[in-house]
Amino acid sequence: MNELTKAEEQVMQYMWKLEKAFLKDIVEQFPEPRPAYTTISTVVRVLVKKGFLKYESFGKIRQYAPVFSKERYFKGQLNTVVTNFFNGSKVKFVNFFTENEDLDLSQLEEIKSLLEQKIDKLKKDGQ
């Protein structure tokens, strides 16, 4: 999966929120002062070419939609980070946060609870 530039990611954030949109709908999502309509149109065309957006034509107008979910994109990016910075080890990735981030006891307890739930589910499923 290709990485997104900052501008492409911003358009995709709006598209994931809108689910389907015409170019004018995407432009309206941007706060003032908005980028030029042609600039956003160019970014959308690039996203179609990269395979992030698909479209349906209604005459000369196109309605765009994401090809895959925000969660799928995030998972791919997270896997890239784990591979590139933690030698593919998810354990090292988690350890990074427990050792280097300012997590308080409440947050650590919440993480522990999530892990215990996942462990219980896997045991229940026979894995």
pLDDT tens digits for 78-109? 999 999 999 999 999 888 878 876 888 898 89
In this predicted structure, the answer to whether residue 67 has a pLDDT above a threshold of 90 is yes
SS3 for 1? Answer: coil
Model pLDDT, residue 1 = 63
Report the percentage of the chain scoring pLDDT > 90: 78
- The pTM assigned to this predicted structure is 0.78
H helix intervals, the chain? 6-18, 23-29, 37-50, 70-85, 90-100, 105-124
Return all residues near 47 (Cβ < 8 A) that are at least 6 apart.
8, 11, 12, 15, 53
